[in-house]
Amino acid sequence: MYEMSADRDPFDLVLMDIRLPGMDGIAAAEKIKRNPNVNAPPIIIISAYGREREILCAKELGVEGYLIKPIRQTLLFDTIMEVFGYKQADPEINSADFVSGEKFSEVCVLIVEDHPINRRVATEILEMAGVSVDTAINGREALEAVTKKDYDAVLMDIQMPEMDGIEATKRIRERETETRKLETQTGNSKIGDQHQASSIKHQVANIRHQTSSTRHQDSPSLP
């Protein structure tokens, strides 16, 4: 499966169980790592047993990670981040301690990113801070999202399929400009209507005053 996909859309990461039918995870990892025809991606082996021989064998093959079941979600996430070069500065420090979730509980952000790992990382970081997050995988989905919902911010990748971030941002800005123009025109119309109404009232008042004065002048004086 990996060899079939390598030429078209190679994987960025392989998570592989060690107990597999036909060929176990160690043998499969060795075949991938030593295949001269493909650029081997990082591999994380998952096992229900922490056998020293298997761990050493995986290390000798250049396997980037070895996890023992059951696996906590945070451990899997941290391992993937380390494989891609993102290391936590101090494991004893929890980033949630620095940010109060209540502070951003009413903030809603749209993440536009086609790479699933980048999208996941950004989502988890913002959600840890209490931010509500929606996601889109390309510019076209982003346009649909901002049409249906008002966001406090949009995090936009540039290189994406169907519509890139530059074009999507341009169209979003054009939409905002048209909305502002409509609001301005509507507001100006209301102001114009108010001036026109005030002018009409003033003219009517003058006519009434002039009519009243004329009638008063034409009335005969009482002896």
Locate the domains of the chain by residue range.
2-83, 100-167
**Predicted pLDDT of residue 38:** 78
**In the CATH hierarchy, which top-level class contains the domain 2-83?**
alpha beta
What average pLDDT does this structure show over 193-221?
49
Which long-range contacts does 64-68 make (Cβ < 8 Å, 24+ apart)? none
Side chain identity, residue 219? S
Q: Is the pLDDT of residue 84 over 70?
A: yes
Beta strands in 95-152 (DSSP E): 108-112, 132-136
State pLDDT tens for residues 96-105.
Answer: 443 445 567 7
3-state helix, strand, coil in the chain (%, to 5): 55, 10, 35
State pLDDT tens for residues 145-179.
Answer: 999 999 999 999 999 999 999 999 999 888 877 66
Q: Is 37 helix (H, G, I), strand (E, B) or coil?
A: coil
> Would you identify the CATH topology of the domain 100-167?
Rossmann fold (3.40.50)
State pLDDT tens for residues 36-47.
Answer: 887 888 999 998
Q: Rounded to the nearest 5 degrees, what angle is found at the Cα of 64, between the Cα atoms of 60 and 68?
A: 95
Distance CA 212, CA 66 (A): 100
